[in-house]
Amino acid sequence: MNNSGGSIYDKVIYTVIKDASSYSPIVSSAEGCSWFVEFEDLTNLTFSVPADYSGSGSCSYSPSLVAYNENDAIDVAIYGLLQDIDLDSDLLVDILFSENDLVFTSTEVEGIPFTWDTEAQVRVWQ
């Protein structure tokens, strides 16, 4: 075993890549919202998903407030993505990004039957 140490200029350079993608379960809508996200360095960013969203919905991923519509497929998917890049699960996103750094895309598939149903029973007593 060689434990002699190297020169002061020896360096270790590494890259860590984490797959970050998110899918939502089947839910009733896919509208999106305006997101407020806080980063590990305590900076923040507000952006809309989809980019042309003009509604009044607001979502948040920060230690002071986690808020999103659990019945909106886009919101659920973005929340899952933010959880993936919050590496230490402290509600502060560890990977800094701007609106121009990432592209959020969504594909809406219509006509999928819901995974729940309504049951009605009729009982006749004789």
What the block records as the tokens of 60 is: 């948040």
Predicted pLDDT at 29: 85
What is the model's pTM? 0.71
Please tell me whether residue 22 adopts helix, strand or coil conformation. coil
Query: Hey, which residues does 60 pair with through a beta bridge?
Result: 36, 67
Helix, strand, coil shares of the chain as percentages rounded to 5? Answer: 10, 20, 70
What the block records as the tokens of 102 is: 């990432």
**Domain map (residue ranges) of the chain:** 31-107
Calpha distance 27→76 (Å, rounded):
9
Calpha distance 64→15 (Å, rounded):
31
Predicted pLDDT at 107: 73
pLDDT tens-place values along the chain, 126 residues long:
555 555 566 665 555 556 666 667 778 888 999 999 999 999 999 999 998 899 999 999 999 999 999 999 899 999 998 998 898 999 999 988 888 887 777 777 777 665 555 566 566 676
